[in-house]
Structure 1
Amino acid sequence: MSGVPLFPPTDPHLAAQVGFVLEIDRLKGVVRRNLIADASRRENTAEHSWHLAMLAGTLAEHAATDVDVARVTRMLLIHDLVEIDAGDTFYYDSVAEVDQAEREQRGADRIFGLLPAAQGSELRALWEEFEARETPDARFAKAIDRFQPCLLNFHTEGGTWREYDLTRTEVLAKQGGTIEDGSPSLWAYTLELIDEAVRRGYLKP
């Protein structure tokens, strides 16, 4: 059973940590709407988190201000752990958005609560910082989180943009401030991608 070591360590501190790492293995089973770049299948949330961590390290020079890449990477690796309980909420699903925060808070309570108290509090604080988007690290992390789906949608000839019949206006409304706040240069490139997607018919005007 996920989250319960079949042969737990005798040290309760280590046992809690092993239980946590077994539990978060379930993130591999949370499927997102976005397709992977070759369009062969949808990505899962664990893959998404890994990809964002790699983007953060690769694109850190494009952050709006100096950031701590290690902290940004940690944020991105944990930011969606709550989806083990809350599920993935599609950006453009206004119905699911209504109780998203409540579902994710409950997920955070349980999942970070599996760890020893100090460690759980540390990761919970990073998750909350990411969600609040009030620090340079969090703003860049959020920008990366919003940029990656745009990149994948373009490279899958519209991906979820086309699947859900989205318009340029809808995409800009969701992505604009978040990406621009964290990385003006990535936002400039995102605008180019979006406009080229409209030109190619991947996205409605």
Structure 2
Amino acid sequence: MNPDTLINFLGIMEKLKCNTRHNWTTNGRQESVAEHSWRLAVLAMLLADDFPGLDMNKVIRMCLIHDWGEAITGDIPAFLKTEADEETEAGAIETLLKNLPDSLAQEYSVLFEEMADLNTEEAILVKALDKTETLIQHNEAGPGTWLPLEYELNMTYGNEVCGHFETTQRLRDTVREHTLRIIQEEVKH
């Protein structure tokens, strides 16, 4: 890739470091989209041995790019995101990919389409891990950062997609147990 093209694209991607998510970190600041994507990729990497039949290199690449559109749109929490927001984000991704050489744009376009369609085991795994990482971060930040609706949402978010794999189901069940403990501790105090 031409160095100027690369530097310009990285400049766009830098916005993912600046754009914050609804989640908070344990030190009391809002998490960036880039931090979420990085930890999602780490989560997939650490679970690679649990999915020997899947292309985990592809899964990790999907984890790293899954929120690229948010460099333009910013983050909209899942419980507020509409179909129109999804379309706007898809348009943002299309715009971003035009900044890449054709071969890379095509390669990433295929990955985005696969993730949108959820028609492969890899795409389903990324979706399950994405929801799970979000919940883990919610738990780590604690109930002081939760909206009232999140007490219930933290119990149900991602249940359906996480049930697709035994590993993600076990992980989701464990995260739910952690959420319950956090809520019980809060009630005691």
TM over 0.5: yes
**Aligned residue runs from structure 1 range 181-196, under 5 A:** 181-182=164-165, 183-196=168-181
Q: CA deviation at 1:181?
A: 1.9
Distance 2:57 2:144 in 1: 31
SS state at 1:92 partner: coil
1:87 match: 74
Q: CA deviation at 1:126?
A: 0.9
CA spacing shift, 1:199–1:104, aligned 2, 3 Å: same
Give 2:57's match in structure 1, choosing from 65, 70, 75.
Answer: 70
Distance 1:159 1:113 in 2: 41
Distance 1:84 1:167 in 2: 25
1:52 matched to 2:36: no
Q: 1:89, 1:97 within 8 Å by CA — same for their partners in 2?
A: no
1:166 match: 149
Q: 1:35, 1:159 within 8 Å by CA — same for their partners in 2?
A: no
2:19 match: 30
Q: Which runs of 5+ in 1 are unaligned?
A: 1-11
Count of residue pairs the alignment pairs up: 185
Q: CA deviation at 1:75?
A: 0.4
CA spacing shift, 1:191–1:62, aligned 2, 3 Å: farther
Q: 1:34, 1:159 within 8 Å by CA — same for their partners in 2?
A: no
Give 1:41's match in structure 2, choosing from 29, 51, 67.
Answer: 29
1:175 match: 158
**Percent identical residues:** 25
Distance 1:55 1:70 in 2: 13
Deviations 1:130-167 (A, max 9, x none): 2222211111111111111211211222254x2x1125
Moved more, 192-201 or 125-134: 192-201
Structure 1 residue runs of 4 or more that deviate by more than 6 Å after TM superposition: none
Q: CA deviation at 1:62?
A: 4.1
Q: CA deviation at 1:83?
A: 0.4
Distance 2:144 2:49 in 1: 28
Q: CA deviation at 1:177?
A: 0.8
Q: CA deviation at 1:172?
A: 3.8
SS state at 2:149 partner: coil
Distance 2:86 2:12 in 1: 21
AA in 1 matched with 2:42: M
CA RMSD of aligned residues (A): 2.2
1:101 matched to 2:86: yes
Q: Which runs of 5+ in 2 are unaligned?
A: none
TM-score (normalizing by structure 2): 0.86
TM-score (normalizing by structure 1): 0.80
Q: 2:128, 2:161 within 8 Å by CA — same for their partners in 1?
A: yes
Q: CA deviation at 1:129?
A: 1.4
